[in-house]
Amino acid sequence: MRLLEEAVILTLKEYGLEGERSGGETGVWFDVGTSKARKICALGVKTSRWVTMHGFAFNVNSDLSYFGNIIPCGIADKQVTSLEKEIGRPVDMKDVKEKIKSYLIHLFEMEII
C-alpha cells in the first residue's frame, strides 16, 4: 500500500505538488493536519479465496461534484480534490499514466516485457 501511495506522491511532484500521507488514513493527501486537508488518491484492498488485490483511485480530471452526494472513504470532515483542480487546468491522462507507470515499475522493481 505504501508503495502505491509513493508512486502517486512522486507523480504529483512532477506537477509541482507535495502530496503526503495522513497518519491512520490510507491514500494521498494535501495539507494534512490543517482545515484545508484534502484527499487526491484513495487506496483499497480486496481479499478473496486467499488472493489479495490492491488498487487506487487517483483523481486526475474528476468531476468532484459527485463527492457532494457521499461521504468519501467514510471521512466526513475532509475534502476531495483532483490534479486538475490543484494545478488549475485539465491534465493529459496519457501523460499521468506514463508517469505513474514509470514509478510503479521502479518502486516494485518490475520488468515489463
What b/e readout covers 12-23, taking b as 16+ CB neighbours within 10 angstroms? Answer: beeeebebebbe
pTM of the model: 0.90
Cβ atoms 27, 73 nearer than 8 A: yes
* Domains of the chain, each with CATH number or no CATH: 2-107 (3.30.930.10)
Specify the pLDDT at position 112.
Answer: 84
pLDDT beneath 50: ranges in the chain: none
Catalytic entry in 32, 57, 73, 91? 73
Asked if 73 is an active-site residue, the reply is: yes
Q: State how far the Cα of 95 lies from the Cα of 60, in Å rounded to an integer.
A: 11
